[in-house]
């Protein structure tokens, strides 16, 4: 078993943690396959921006997702970079074993709140997935006890297959997963159906049920509510947010629409509010060029890269100078 690389903590803990999911959620949502060389360069650019958590891939068979065929190599590259948490998605025990052998710092397991989505996506019921999670936790405990197991609870805010997902079922499933031994549970707006009132209410209910094991908000901008929903989650105490550079990973349920929240826009929102992310926005925007080089012609989204950063926008990193002028790229959708 490959021991996960210990990474030193960054100099200061940001007020919010932005978890970059583009190399996994973004890449597996597009048809093109980015080369390993370009993936390494992109991950280097993301790390240089100050991001301190990244989901680098999925441990699934290459025949199912050719985009993830080199995931073990990418994990080894990312874990060699200091000061951040490298995680990977694992849908089953085999994937978890491979991810731990590669040296990930964190495992994330997808579990659907919608029974219909669970059966269609992984061909298992929700309660069967709880049993899978229990096996993964047991493997972690036996081989890599320092590696957290996180649940990304998909379709928590609605499902295109069954429609509404009762909040009581989300809370019930969260309780089952905590009993299975997971470290945290994030809620995902897989289909882009959430609204701010719903986000506040559901995160509040889950937090009341499982306390500090309530994890990240994975919210989509499919219908233009991504940032509003992130702010609603912030209002009720969520401090980790998933996002994808350039909004990579369009939503398959709304062709032509942006899917994932754009990392650049999310960082700008929090920094403009005076909430420290620890991310250098200029370097983050510059990382789009590395992404574009690896996926030429793939649409990239984001309001901030188009409009530019206002003059005087502060660099809120400790000791950072005030920025002057505008940071801007020539991106257009």
Beta bridge partners of 243: 20
Catalytic residue among 144, 151, 165, 251: 251
- CA-wise closest residue to 23 among 63, 64, 53: 53
Q: CA-CA distance, 207 to 212, in Å (whole number)? A: 7
Beta bridge partners of 159: 163
Q: Convert the pLDDT of each residue in 268-287 to its tens digit.
A: 999 999 999 999 999 999 99
Residue 21 has pLDDT above 90, yes or no: yes
Q: CA-CA distance, 135 to 151, in Å (whole number)? A: 14
User: Does the annotation count 251 as an active-site position?
Assistant: yes
The pair phi, psi for residue 35, each rounded to 5°, is: -65, 155
pLDDT score, position 122: 87
pLDDT score, position 302: 95
Using a 10 angstrom Cβ sphere, with 0-12 exposed, 13-18 middle and 19 or more buried, the burial of residue 319 is exposed
Q: CA-CA distance, 152 to 149, in Å (whole number)? A: 10
The distance of Cα 323 from the centroid of its chain, to the nearest Å, equals 28
Q: Convert the pLDDT of each residue in 37-64 to its tens digit.
A: 999 999 999 999 999 999 999 999 999 9
Residues 331, 301 contacting (CB under 8 angstroms) = no
> Can you read off the two tokens belonging to residue 180?
């299975």
pLDDT band at residue 258 under the 50/70/90 scheme: confident
Domains of the chain, earliest start first: 17-307 (3.20.20.70)
pLDDT score, position 333: 36
pLDDT band at residue 204 under the 50/70/90 scheme: very high
The pair phi, psi for residue 17, each rounded to 5°, is: -105, 120
pLDDT score, position 257: 66
Instruction: Report the mean per-residue pLDDT for the chain.
Output: 91
pLDDT score, position 8: 43
% of residues, the chain, pLDDT over 70: 88
The distance of Cα 271 from the centroid of its chain, to the nearest Å, equals 19
pLDDT score, position 125: 96
Residues 256, 23 contacting (CB under 8 angstroms) = no
Contacts of 300 (CB under 8 A, 6+ apart): 246, 247, 248, 288, 291, 292, 331, 333
Tally Cβ neighbours within 10 Å of residue 112: 27
pLDDT score, position 11: 45
Residue 318 has pLDDT above 60, yes or no: no
Q: Considering the entire predicted model, what is its pTM? A: 0.91
DSSP SS3 for 19: strand
pLDDT score, position 252: 64
Specify the pairing of strand 53-58 against strand 240-243: unpaired
Residue 110 has pLDDT above 50, yes or no: yes
pLDDT band at residue 5 under the 50/70/90 scheme: low
- CA-wise closest residue to 145 among 294, 4, 255: 4
């Amino acid at each position: 078993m490959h021991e996960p690389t210990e990474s030193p903590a960054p100099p200061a803990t940001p007020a919010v943690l932005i978890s970059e999911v583009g190399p996994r959620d973004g890449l597996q949502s597009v048809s093109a396959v980015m080369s390993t060389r370009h993936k390494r360069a992109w991950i280097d650019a993301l790390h240089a921006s100050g991001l301190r958590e990244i989901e680098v891939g999925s441990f699934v068979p290459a025949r199912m997702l050719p985009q993830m065929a080199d995931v073990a190599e990418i994990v080894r590259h990312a874990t060699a970079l200091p000061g951040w948490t490298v995680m990977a998605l694992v849908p089953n025990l085999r994937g978890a074993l491979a991810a731990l052998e590669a040296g990930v710092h964190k495992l994330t397991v997808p579990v659907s709140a919608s029974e219909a989505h669970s059966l269609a996506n992984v061909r298992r019921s929700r309660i069967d997935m709880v049993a899978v999670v229990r096996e993964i936790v047991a493997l972690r405990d036996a081989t890599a006890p320092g590696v957290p197991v996180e649940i990304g609870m998909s379709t928590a805010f609605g499902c295109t297959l069954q429609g509404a997902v009762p909040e009581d079922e989300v809370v019930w499933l969260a309780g089952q997963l905590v009993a299975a031994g997971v470290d945290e549970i994030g809620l995902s707006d897989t289909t882009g159906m959430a609204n701010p009132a719903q986000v506040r209410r559901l995160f509040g209910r889950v937090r009341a049920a499982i306390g500090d094991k309530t994890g990240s908000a994975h919210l989509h901008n499919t219908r233009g509510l991504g940032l509003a929903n992130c702010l609603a989650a912030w209002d009720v105490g969520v401090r980790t947010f998933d996002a994808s550079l350039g909004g990579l990973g369009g939503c398959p349920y709304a062709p032509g629409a942006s899917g994932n929240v754009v990392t650049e826009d999310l960082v700008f929102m929090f920094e403009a509010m005076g909430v420290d992310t620890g991310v250098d926005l200029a370097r983050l925007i510059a990382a789009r060029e590395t992404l574009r080089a690896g996926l030429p012609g793939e649409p990239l989204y984001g309001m901030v890269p188009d409009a530019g950063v206002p003059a005087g926008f502060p660099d809120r990193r400790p000791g950072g100078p005030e920025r002057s002028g505008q940071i801007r790229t020539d991106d257009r959708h």
